[in-house]
Amino acid sequence: MSALALGLRDSWTLAGRNLRRGYAVPAQFVPALAFPVVFTLLYGYVFGSGMTVPGGGDYIAFLMPGLFVQMTAFGLVGTMSEVAGDAAKGITDRFRSLPIAAAAVVGGRSVSDMANAVLGLAVMVAMGLLMGWSWTRGAADAAAAIGLLLLLRFALLWIGIYLGLLARDPEAVSGLFLLTFPVTMVTSAFVAPELMPGWLGTIAEWNPLSATIGATRELFGNPGAATGGGWPAQHAQLLAVLWPLVLVAVFLPLAARRYRAMSR
């Protein structure tokens, strides 16, 4: 077999290990799937009763693309936790001692986490449909929106892998988890940036998550697509592709370098 074929085989084997390990204990994966459902109910029915969509429209339809992106971003915390846990227990070092492809450990993690992302997104979409949300444009546009969400998750998982290898301690991940809240909240997910103080609205508009939120609203045909009115909001679909590519270009090499440096 070629080196590429061996690498793919080993990555697939380790991805299967990660998935079996993750779903072997229901007490671990059931709360992870229930968490976005609880968030959707809270924001949609508790806070949504007092929210107004810029330009009019149903708040649930406005909210769901933002929640899709927020839950996608929260997924990197799971990546960090799993990577740091394997490193702390010495499992990563054991994998490194095996005659497998050097990239199989991080490759297997990326495959398994993307599979989990698809499952989590399916749960979120089903929950949104039950609450009355739907897309109003064609199936091709809806598929493109799902593709942008998965592209963002692919970019964020490399941040999670890098930070998990950097921390090498599951307890340190809890501190990093707190940092995800400001990043996911200061966006166009829940309110329009123009309703925020000027400086905060500018940060929200340029937040990479806001680009994917705006782009998916456009593709799903949901209200509030161009919230903010600035250049980022008007070019959300372009930025929803560029931002993840930039993140991958930065953090994939950093994760690979950190993984190679673990043996030193």
pLDDT at 105: 85
pLDDT at 157: 93
Q: Which of 113, 145, 151 is nearest to 225 (CA)?
A: 145
Calculate Rg over the CA atoms of the chain. 19
At 135-147, the pLDDT tens digits run 988 899 999 999 9
List the domain range (segments joined by +) for residue 41: 3-261
At 27-76, the pLDDT tens digits run 667 777 788 888 888 888 877 777 777 776 788 888 899 999 998 998 88
Dihedral angle at the C-alpha atoms of 233, 234, 237, 242, nearest 10 degrees? -80
Contact 188, 63 (CB under 8 A): no
Count up the domains in the chain and report the number: 1
Dihedral angle at the C-alpha atoms of 129, 48, 224, 247, nearest 10 degrees? -80
At 201-249, the pLDDT tens digits run 899 999 999 999 999 999 999 887 666 668 888 889 999 999 999 999 9
pLDDT at 65: 93
DSSP element (H, E) containing 165: helix 139-167
Q: Which of 236, 202, 199, 201 is nearest to 218 (CA)?
A: 236
